[in-house]
A and B are shown apart, each in its own frame.
Chain A
Amino acid sequence: MSSRNDQPDRRPAPAGAERRLEIGSYDELIRNEPEILRRIKAMPNGGALFLINPFLLFEDIGVVLSDTAKREVLTAEPRLAGLSAIPYRALKTSRSRQNYRVNVRGLFERRSL
């Protein structure tokens, strides 16, 4: 996954949405984990969307990763490189009840970078 610059998106959050949470590094992401988990839980099918594409989910719940943070996340979770936006958007826009739910209790496995 690529990003256009190394700086977090500073645009204000849309009206009614969570305030934007700018994350500059992997460590900062972990420090904000409780808030991010709360936002994921509040998002319809948030756990499942997290499994499908965490980066797009972060965008949708107002968590803005800097390029550095993204790079560090990819280093910690190399398998995140193969993500797609298509299933993510399909689930996000689906009006149907999903027959599985994912409760996310942590963002990424703790490991040293």
Chain B
Amino acid sequence: MSLLAGFDFVSEISNATLLALIKSNMTIGGVQVNPPFEVTVPFAGASAHMIVDDLTLDLNDDDTMSLNFAFSQSSVTVQAPVPRVICPLAGNMSVRIPLTLVPSGGNTQQVSANMGAATVTLSMPQSEQTITNALAGTNITSAQFQTMALQGVTDFVRSVPNVSFPLSFNVVPNVNGSIAPLQFSSLQVHCIGNSNRSLQALGLFGNLLASTQNNGNHTEKTSTAIQAGRDAAVSFSPGAFHSLIFCPAVGTALGMGVGSLPPSCGGSTGGVSVNGIKLMSISDSFGNGQININGSVKDSGFCYDASGTFSGNIKLSVNGNALTPSISMDEPDVTIDIPFLCYLAAGVVLGPIGVATLFVIDHVADDIADKIAGTALNKALGGGVIGAVGLSALSGSASFASLSITPEGLTLQGNIKVSVKNSSFKKSLLLKGSTTTSSENIASSGKWHTQIWCKPAKDYPYTEILQNQVATYDVTSQLMATPLSVSYTLRSITSPVAIPLTGTSGAVDIPDVTCTYAAPLSTGGAKVTQSVHLEYQLNGTALQLRNRPEDGNFAVYLEATVRDCTGAVVTGGSSVSPKAWVYFDGNAVVIGGGYEADYQECAAQMKELGDKIKNKYKPEDLYVEPWVPINFPPEYRVYEQIRVLKAMGVREAQEMILHSRLAHGSGFTRAFHAPADVRTGRETRASQEVDSYRITETEIRSQLVMLTNQLLQMQRGLVSKSSERAPNKRSR
């Protein structure tokens, strides 16, 4: 096999790395192709819902890539000539896409998948019977259906915009390119195929010089240079290395341009001075495991003329994440002409020529290592990859693994960490919705005389309102075999008896529901257990519930039984939870006269007081919530506030409980009617915040114990404060 197939430069990316790039960069129908995922494919007279479980990639010899989508639990809904749902479907869809380089602005060319030229094959052998059964009674045969489905997904795939990979390169024909920045005179992209996916690679075959622009035949490269466990390989030809790395390195070492160097780099046949001797020639070649350097020197003095040759080699080793050169240098081979016994000649033999030549090779070695490590690999996979995945040759996501040198070329092996996030899809079924007020009527109004503890007593105007509300709920699913069918039940919090909602509309009475009312204001409201009346309407899977305002404020438990397209009831873990608490606020009160502002002010003062006491005993407490701003706080925060105020045990705090009920309004009633897990925050904190903050349930419990102890301390402190303030309060 050929390493470089006659090209100056070949960059190879493994199948696995390219697949990771595809998963992180490619979308179909707005969905990232990172399994598991689902996508809806519309086509004439039908639509397909496809759940993709797995994606594999093949890089083919004809410079196409095949994306193989393994799907299951999928369905096709046919509208005409006879409505039918064909489900569940499973199989494999293979999309074969030509890979090309396309201009992407300026001199940049980018690797692109030409979706418009994609061909699709669809294979569903295990679904033959399902298709036949579903189409029974129609004049559509299974073969016709599969042809239609194939045409549909083909049209859909071809409508997807071309996929541009973050592999972009600078290509300027007819001029010599460079390593830094990487610029080609010509570039081709080809696949290096193999029946074993782990031996497949995407190859970028480039020439860097104007003189080599038309060189190379990619078919001569029949296998990838990427070693097992590596993600990428970058190879340079000896010629490219000579022109773009070695000679510039010699120029850097000698402080002059390449053209001014002696052969084989430049045209200065008279040699150039290096530390008092003349470097007449210098050349490089690749050996096995090393870069060979040969050269010739001349020197002359008062009584001698010396000429010599030198040879050495540079070995490059990967040391940690750096490329370290080591040099081996033979003694120069020198011939000295002396016109007579000349002691100066002995001085030449014994040192300076060797020193000067070693100086050159030493500098050249360092520069070569820098160029290869710092520039060549860094840019070898294109600037786009670097930007996309944070690739840096010596740090970050890419790292050197090994370097090999043979007479055919120099090859760097590397590992690239492409960040592919976990799929955003997971098998889930949730019941989601909200309650809105459709209309309201004033039930009563008046003035309420009260005092919030930090303010003088005053009259606050109030209005009692009856609210007609509509709760709208629907199931949302991921990775389910659609279409889904749903049936709903309702029950009270305390009753195990679920009442089914039959038909598409109707009304039900739910017995034994705890309801609350805003009045009387001075007690913070009233509580009644009664039957509540709800009207319902079903539209597909969506449900609307309407309350009767005089039933007050309450919550009922809504549960859905969901069946997939096969009629099987959908079950699963915690992510399959089609149930919800539905809240209605039929009765509300609006208190004016600056009541909310007064409440906030007193609550803030109480918080400040509580904090002073709390800090005296313990500087930290996460869950002391004597003041919760009125902005629809989560139920558990309201509940915690009430708990703390109650635990304070002083009158001011207890008064604040009443005012909290009124000030928070529906926020308070929802907290009051919420299930225990919601009120304690277990549901919210355990499933969301705990996940975020990694607080274990045990830690929460221990903090609540701490809180209780602190509350006792606070109570003692607040009572003491309250006693000190008592004369002032009485006088007011």
Which of A47, A79, A102 counts the most chain B CB atoms within 10 A? A102
Q: Is the CB of B332 within 8 A of A101?
A: no
Evaluate whether A109 and B331 lie within 8 angstroms (CB atoms) in the complex, with A100-B349, A102-B345 already known.
no
* A83 nearest CB across to chain B (Å): 11
Contacts of B343 in A (CB 8 A): 51, 79
User: Which residues on the A side are within 8 Å of B345 (C-beta)?
Assistant: 51, 102
- Determine the distance from Cα of A77 to Cα of B343 in the docked complex, in whole angstroms: 11
The verdict on A99 contacting chain B, using a C-beta distance below 8 Å, is yes
The residue in chain B whose Cβ has the minimal distance to the Cβ of A97 is B333
B346 within 8 A of A: yes
Docked complex: A49-102 residues within 8 A CB-CB of B: 50-51, 54, 77, 79-80, 99-102
Within 8 A of B (CB), among A17-76: 47-48, 50-51, 54
- Contact between A101 and B335 (Cβ–Cβ < 8 Å)? yes
Q: Which of A50, A100, A109 contacts B334 (CB 8 A)?
A: A100
Would B336 and A107 count as touching, CB distance under 8 A? no
| A81 vs B221: C-alpha distance when bound (angstroms) | 69
How far, in angstroms, from A109 to B343 measured CA to CA in the complex?
12
Whether A47 and B340, one on each chain, are in contact in the complex, defined by CB atoms closer than 8 angstroms, is: no
Given contacts A51-B346, A100-B349, contact A107 B341 (CB under 8 A): yes
Contact in complex: B336, A100 (CB < 8 Å):
yes
How big is chain A's contact interface, by range? 20 to 34
Question: B128 in the interface, Cβ–Cβ < 8 Å?
Answer: no
Any A CB within 8 A of the CB of B143 = no
Q: Mark B312-355, 1 if CB is under 8 A from A, else 0.
A: 00000000000000000011111111111111011001000000
Chain B residues in 8 Å Cβ range of A79:
343
Most B CB contacts (10 A, CB to CB) among A54, A80, A106, A107 go to: A106
- Interface: A103 (CB within 8 A): yes
Residues of A within 8 A of B338 (CB): 47, 51, 102-106
Chain A CB within 10 Å — which of B330, B340, B342 has the most? B340
Instruction: Give chain B nearest CB distance to A69 CB in angstroms.
Output: 15
Structural contact, B341 and A51, CB atoms closer than 8 A: yes
| Contact-residue size bin, chain B (C-beta under 8 Å from the other chain) | 10 to 19
Q: With an 8 A cutoff between CB atoms, is B31 at the interface?
A: no
Collect the chain A residues with CB atoms within 8 Å of residue B335's CB: 100-103
Cβ-defined contact, A106 with B336, below 8 A: no
Check B339–A102 contact: CB distance below 8 A.
Answer: no
Minimum distance in angstroms from B535 CB to a CB of chain A: 107
Q: State A68–B336 Cα separation when bound (angstroms).
A: 31
Cross-interface CB contact of A101 among B303, B330, B336, B346, cutoff 8 Å? B336
Given contacts A51-B346, A109-B303, contact A103 B336 (CB under 8 A): yes
Question: Which B residues touch A107, using CB under 8 A?
Answer: 340-341
State A102–B305 Cα separation when bound (angstroms).
10
> In whole Å, how far is B351's beta carbon from the nearest beta carbon of chain A?
11
Known: A99-B331, A99-B332. A105 touches B346 (CB 8 A): no
Question: Which residues on A sit within 8 Å (CB–CB) of B341?
Answer: 50-51, 54, 77, 80, 104, 107-109
Q: A77-B341, A99-B331, A100-B349 given as contacts; is B303 within 8 A of A47 (CB)?
A: no
Contact B339 A99 (CB under 8 A): no
Contacts of B339 in A (CB 8 A): 105-106, 109
Structural contact, B336 and A102, CB atoms closer than 8 A: yes
**Interface core residue of A77, A99, A106 (most chain B CB under 10 Å):** A99
Which B residues touch A47, using CB under 8 A? 336, 338
Shortest Cβ distance from A38 into chain B, in angstroms? 16
Task: Provide the B7-30 mask, 1 if CB < 8 A to any CB of A, else 0.
Answer: 000000000000000000000000
B665 to chain A, nearest CB (A): 99
Nearest to A54 among chain B residues (CB) is B341
CB closest residue in chain A, given B337: A103
Q: Which residues of B contact A110 (CB under 8 A)?
A: 340
Q: Taking the nearest CB of chain B, how far is it from the CB of A71, in angstroms?
A: 16
A77 — which chain B residues lie within 8 A by C-beta?
Answer: 341
Q: Is A100 a contact partner of B340 (Cβ separation < 8 A)?
A: no
Q: How far apart sit A33 and B338, CA to CA, in the bound complex (Å)?
A: 14
Q: Which residue of B lies closest to A101 (CB)?
A: B335
C-alpha gap A84/B331 in the complex (Å):
24
A73, B575: Cα distance in complex, Å: 107
Give the residue name and chain of the A residue nearest to B310 (CB). Answer: A99
Chain B residues with Cβ below 8 Å from A106 are 338-340
Residues of B within 8 A of A108 (CB): 340-341
A49 to B188, CA, bound (A): 62
Q: Which of B308, B331, B342 has the most CB of A within 10 A?
A: B342
* Residue numbers in A under 8 Å from B332 (CB-CB): 99-100
Would you give the shortest CB distance from B483 to chain A, in whole angstroms? 88
Q: A79-B343, A109-B339 are in contact. List 6 more A-B contacts (CB 8 A).
A: A48-B349, A51-B341, A99-B334, A100-B308, A101-B336, A109-B340
Show 14 A/B contacts (Cβ-Cβ < 8 Å), sorted by A: A50-B341, A51-B342, A51-B346, A77-B341, A99-B330, A99-B331, A99-B334, A100-B349, A101-B334, A102-B335, A104-B338, A105-B340, A107-B341, A108-B341
Q: Mark A residues whose CB is within 8 Å of B.
A: 47-48, 50-51, 54, 77, 79-80, 99-110
Chain B interfacial positions (CB closer than 8 Å to A): 303, 308, 330-343, 345-346, 349
